[in-house]
Amino acid sequence: MINETALLESRTLRSNILERTDALDRVKALSLLPDGMHVTTAMVAKYFSVTVEAVRALVHDHRAEMEASGYRVLTGQELSDFKQLSGIRSHTRSLALFPRRSVLNIAMLLRDSEVARQVRVYLLDMEYLARTQPVENPAPTDPAALDTRIDQRITHILGRTVVPMFNVLIATSGEHRRELIELRADIENVERKLCWHHKRLATLEGDAPADDVRAKLNAMTWRAFEHHVAGLLRRDGCVDVVVRQARTDRGIDITGRTADGRTVAVQCKNRSGRWTVPSADMQKFAGAARAIDQADVALFVATSNFSHESEAVAKLSGVITVNREELEAWSAGVLLKALR
């Protein structure tokens, strides 16, 4: 798995994932100029919670790379035309513009920003999933294969573009927030149905999607499993998702927020065989999530089942359990109800 240091230091790695600009909105809403395509230096600084001088210094040190990703400075007639088309009122003689690709480029270079670090974590999670998922190339002459490819393409667009767009609108809207949440739920229902449709077609063609998901989970290390769960949270609309680097006694492996602002704390247990989650582990996590972090949504995700005692503790403390069967369905594309 590519680490964060390699991403910070390798221009080649950065250029290979510049198209994944949805990572920006997954972490934080990015406000755009009236043209809907660009942001200014001040807007970039505000997004990453750094100074304008820090952004300018970064552009100065990586000018060629930034220009390759779309950064440019408007002057003269070009600036006048842009102001007129976009409705900007400014008396400046030059204007630096960043398209979304350039903002993502900044995120992959900016070291002293928590927002930039969260964007990098999301990118690395998605890169890991892309590398570990098998690539299928169905024959274009097969009608069933064509239907499957269309379903997968639509699902990809819904999950990577439409749902993040609704997350941004929900986060920034006040008057129509409830209607937007309902519309997002409808979109997610379509996405979920397409996922099940793809699984049904694969089953009819002799594949075993459930076995494939199960095999991937079995092959994961504890750290890969945590990043896998973090990716599922982001897929379901969560933002500010952070996989904690240090192993602590508090039992919280992942934190984040749902699209409607609720805080999330997650404990991940990657165990195999007939092992079940004991009540002691549940009590420990419940205390950390509820009493210390005071999380709105506490999730205990395990690759096994839970003991009767741990289920009872979870119910009393309000912890939501995700057992092996529910985890496989979640990994296959089913939306986790607790995050809605």
Mark out the alpha helices in 173-274 (DSSP H runs). Answer: 177-204, 209-219, 222-235
Domain assignment of residue 212, yes or no: no
User: What is the reported pLDDT for 143?
Assistant: 46
Let me know whether 75 and 109 are in one domain: yes
User: What is the reported pLDDT for 102?
Assistant: 94
Domain assignment of residue 133, yes or no: no
Q: Report the alpha-carbon distance of residue 120 to residue 116 in Å, rounded.
A: 6
Let me know whether 54 and 154 are in one domain: no
Let me know whether 285 and 224 are in one domain: yes
Per-residue pLDDT of the chain (340 residues; tens, 9 = 90+): 456 777 788 888 888 888 888 888 888 888 888 777 889 999 999 999 999 999 999 999 999 999 999 999 999 888 888 887 766 777 788 899 999 999 999 999 998 899 999 888 888 776 655 555 544 444 444 444 444 455 555 555 555 556 556 665 666 566 667 777 777 677 766 766 666 565 555 555 444 445 567 778 888 888 889 999 998 998 888 888 888 875 554 678 999 988 778 899 999 998 866 688 999 999 999 888 876 668 889 999 999 999 999 999 999 889 999 998 889 888 877 778 787 7
Q: In terms of residue numbers, what domain contains 186? A: 138-207
Let me know whether 254 and 335 are in one domain: yes
Domain assignment of residue 215, yes or no: no
Phi-psi region of 49 (alpha: psi -120 to 50; beta: other; left: phi over 0): left
Which domain-ending residue is among 184, 207, 230?
207
Q: What angle do CA 321, 322, 326 make, to 5 degrees?
A: 145
Q: Report the alpha-carbon distance of residue 33 to residue 89 in Å, rounded.
A: 12
Let me know whether 145 and 118 are in one domain: no
User: What is the reported pLDDT for 46?
Assistant: 94
Pairing of strands 276-277, 254-257: unpaired
Domain assignment of residue 287, yes or no: yes
User: What is the reported pLDDT for 50?
Assistant: 95
**Domain count along the chain:** 3
Domain assignment of residue 47, yes or no: yes
Domain assignment of residue 39, yes or no: yes
User: What is the reported pLDDT for 28?
Assistant: 84
pLDDT digits (tens, 9 = 90+) for 268-306: 998 866 688 999 999 999 888 876 668 889 999 999 999
User: What is the reported pLDDT for 11?
Assistant: 86
Let me know whether 63 and 164 are in one domain: no
Let me know whether 95 and 144 are in one domain: no
**What's the start-to-end Cα distance of the chain, in Å?**
30
Which domain-ending residue is among 186, 207, 228?
207
Longest dimension (CA), the chain: 72
Domain assignment of residue 131, yes or no: no
pTM greater than 0.75: no
Which domain-ending residue is among 126, 153, 186?
126
